[in-house]
Structure 1
Amino acid sequence: MPHLPSRGFTWLEVVMVLAIMAFLAAVALPSLSDALARHRLRAAATALLDTLRQSREAALHRPKGTRVCPSENGRTCSGRTDWGVGWISRDGDTNAILAVEDALDARLTAASTGVRTDVVFPHPADEMAEPSNQTLALCVRGKPETTLTVVVAKNGHSHAEPAAPEVARACAAHHSRIR
Structure 2
Amino acid sequence: MPPRPHRGFTLVELLIVLVIVGLTAALAVPALTDALDRRRIRHAAEALRDDLDHARLEAVTSAQAVRVMARPGIRGWAGGWMAQRGYLPLWAASSEPLDTRLRSAHSRPSLSFGPDGGTGDNQTITFCTGGKQAFALSVVIAREGRARVAPAEHDRVTSCAGRRG
Above 0.5 in TM-score?
yes
Task: Measure the CA separation in 1 of the matches of 2:92 and 2:28.
Answer: 37
Among all aligned residue pairs of Structure 1 and Structure 2, give the percentage whose two residues are the same amino acid: 36
* Aligned 1:40-79 pairs, distance under 5 A: 40-71=40-71, 78=72
| 1:3-41 C-alpha deviation (Å, 9 max, x unpaired) | 222221112211221122112211210121011111111
Task: Measure the CA separation in 1 of the matches of 2:162 and 2:62.
Answer: 38
- Over the aligned positions, Cα root-mean-square deviation in angstroms equals 2.1
Instruction: Tell me if the contact between 2:82 and 2:93 (Cα under 8 Å) persists in the aligned partners.
Output: yes
Task: Measure the CA separation in 2 of the matches of 1:143 and 1:22.
Answer: 25
Tell me the equivalent position of 2:86: 93
Tell me the equivalent position of 2:135: 146
Task: Measure the CA separation in 2 of the matches of 1:131 and 1:94.
Answer: 21
Q: 1:64 to 1:147 in 2, by over 3 A?
A: same
Instruction: Tell me if the contact between 1:79 and 1:117 (Cα under 8 Å) persists in the aligned partners.
Output: no
Q: TM-score, normalised by structure 1?
A: 0.81
Which structure is higher in RCO with an 8 Å CA cutoff and minimum separation 6? 2
Q: 1:119 to 1:81 in 2, by over 3 A?
A: farther
1:152 Cα deviation from its structure 2 partner: 1.1
2:103 alignment partner, one of 106, 109, 113: 109
Report runs of 4+ in structure 1 exceeding 6 Å deviation.
Answer: none
- Aligned residue type for 2:58: A
Task: Measure the CA separation in 2 of the matches of 1:146 and 1:79.
Answer: 24
Q: TM-score, normalised by structure 2?
A: 0.87
Q: How many corresponding residue pairs?
A: 164
Tell me the equivalent position of 1:121: 113
Instruction: Give unmatched runs, 5+ long, in structure 1.
Output: 72-77
Instruction: Tell me if the contact between 1:51 and 1:99 (Cα under 8 Å) persists in the aligned partners.
Output: no
| 1:93-118 C-alpha deviation (Å, 9 max, x unpaired) | 35133342343212321221x2x211
Task: Measure the CA separation in 2 of the matches of 1:80 and 1:19.
Answer: 44
Instruction: Tell me if the contact between 2:127 and 2:137 (Cα under 8 Å) persists in the aligned partners.
Output: yes
| 1:58-107 C-alpha deviation (Å, 9 max, x unpaired) | 11222432111111xxxxxx2878111111122x1351333423432123
- Aligned residue type for 1:120: S
Instruction: Tell me if the contact between 1:62 and 1:93 (Cα under 8 Å) persists in the aligned partners.
Output: no
- Aligned residue type for 1:117: P
Tell me the equivalent position of 1:74: none
